Structure 1
């Protein structure tokens, strides 16, 4: 968006900024910390009127590089909105006896309400798969039914546990999209439903369907996924033109 278009989405002043960051902290929403030499996913550990404390990343080298940076961008996806703000520098501190980053509260941030994500159906040939693990243990393979930048819908192959809980986090889901490559994501289960179709024998076939939202995508993953969606859209459009 142009700067003028963004103006309506700015939160400025201590109380407005603090309110948004406290929501991110309370919900445990992942944040993406990006700078000129890399990026990593972290969480807000603490925030008050004076100080913002961010968890260290999992890689010691990345943490040391981050301390050298003088310009950082922070992004988070929360409740259908994207939050963005910039920081000049992070400093080393400790939180709960463990190393962490600290920085003064930003003076402003962007909170942009997302529109409905464009969702496209996955192809039937070749079939795209989602490999995951059931919350109670055991491997699962789903057929990818549709995909968007916000999440996926999958069809369950075989038996499904009865105690699935909406809101649960599913980590390390692997999306196998054939020639388009693979993507490993974390998802939150939004809905357990059923897809009903009619077979060639005029019989009603019901297949369990699960809907997931992505809890976080890196900038690279989002770009990759957007390219896949664009490609699938183009293929679907070309196929539709051939059958007109």
Structure 2
């Protein structure tokens, strides 16, 4: 018995080789993807700072609140979760220790014995126009209105761009209701979105990408998105010829 809870979905894929696990976690660290860390009766949001495959350890950042960081240190088991590119990642570790990295406090813990990648739903993603882009509008939980350009789109969710650090730091799992997705000639559709994958833009700078999944997708809305995604891919293919 390893103590790891194995998912029952047959499409879940578990990495069990420490070198593979370390390489995968190093990629998350390089991309600066956010992870949630559940310590039993609460959670923090963090990033991986360093992965050492030789010592089979990794270092992750402190959370925003000191009492929660103390709870992390006292926990016998930590459950990590992330959704880079819409693929759910889960793994558990034992108790961490506190270390200092670049003169800042952080946590160090042994690599997990198993890392699960849960690929229950695969959707084709298509990049959307950068000139006269599609956009989403709605209200944040505090009532503040927002308008964000669309980065890419699939039948499973949408990635939005922002330079607003307050929006980029929204908590993973946050739900935004009645968001309008504006699709130019295709009209607008109302959707409920859940934040699953905030990350810096791959091009660098102060631009962030927020990956959201659709909580529901009515049949008529799905039909509109299917037609639009197909047309965008046809146009992209024509440009590449």
So what's the TM-score if we normalise by structure 1?
0.55
**Partner residue, 1:67:** 73
Shift of the 140–87 alpha-carbon distance from structure 1 to 2, 3 Å rule, reads: closer
Give distance in 2, aligned partners of 1:169 and 1:214.
16
Q: Which one of 191, 197, 217 corresponds to residue 216 of structure 1?
A: 197
Kindly report which structure 2 residues correspond to 1:153-172, keeping only aligned pairs within 5 A, or say none.
171=165, 172=167
**Partner residue, 1:82:** 88
**Partner residue, 1:29:** 33
Asked whether the equivalents of residues 45 and 55 of structure 1 are also in contact (C-alpha less than 8 Å), the reply is: yes
Q: Which one of 4, 15, 32 corresponds to residue 11 of structure 1?
A: 15
Q: Which one of 127, 143, 150 corresponds to residue 157 of structure 2?
A: 150
Give distance in 2, aligned partners of 1:93 and 1:107.
22
Quote the offset at 1:149 in angstroms.
6.7
1:130 aligns with 2:138: yes
Quote the offset at 1:44 in angstroms.
0.1
Give distance in 2, aligned partners of 1:91 and 1:152.
35
When you count strand as a share of all residues, which structure comes out higher?
A: 1
**Partner residue, 1:96:** 102
Quote the offset at 1:77 in angstroms.
1.3
Shift of the 149–97 alpha-carbon distance from structure 1 to 2, 3 Å rule, reads: farther
* Relative contact order higher in (CA < 8 Å, ≥ 6 apart): 2
Shift of the 116–149 alpha-carbon distance from structure 1 to 2, 3 Å rule, reads: same
Asked whether the equivalents of residues 80 and 114 of structure 1 are also in contact (C-alpha less than 8 Å), the reply is: no
Asked whether the equivalents of residues 150 and 214 of structure 1 are also in contact (C-alpha less than 8 Å), the reply is: no
Once the two structures are overlaid, the 10-residue window that deviates more, 5-14 or 83-92, is 5-14
Paired residues in the alignment total 173
Asked whether the equivalents of residues 31 and 43 of structure 1 are also in contact (C-alpha less than 8 Å), the reply is: yes
Gaps of at least 5 residues in structure 2 are 124-135, 199-213, 222-241
CA RMSD of aligned residues (A): 4.6
Give distance in 2, aligned partners of 1:7 and 1:115.
9
Gaps of at least 5 residues in structure 1 are 118-127, 133-138, 154-166, 176-180, 185-192, 198-205, 218-224, 237-244
Give distance in 1, aligned partners of 2:112 and 2:175.
36
Asked whether the equivalents of residues 39 and 71 of structure 2 are also in contact (C-alpha less than 8 Å), the reply is: no
Mark the structure with the bigger radius of gyration. Answer: 1
Kindly report which structure 2 residues correspond to 1:30-69, keeping only aligned pairs within 5 A, or say none.
30-49=34-53, 50=55, 51-69=57-75
Asked whether the equivalents of residues 16 and 115 of structure 2 are also in contact (C-alpha less than 8 Å), the reply is: yes
Give distance in 2, aligned partners of 1:150 and 1:23.
22
Give distance in 2, aligned partners of 1:8 and 1:112.
4
- Partner of 2:121, secondary structure, is coil
Shift of the 8–90 alpha-carbon distance from structure 1 to 2, 3 Å rule, reads: same
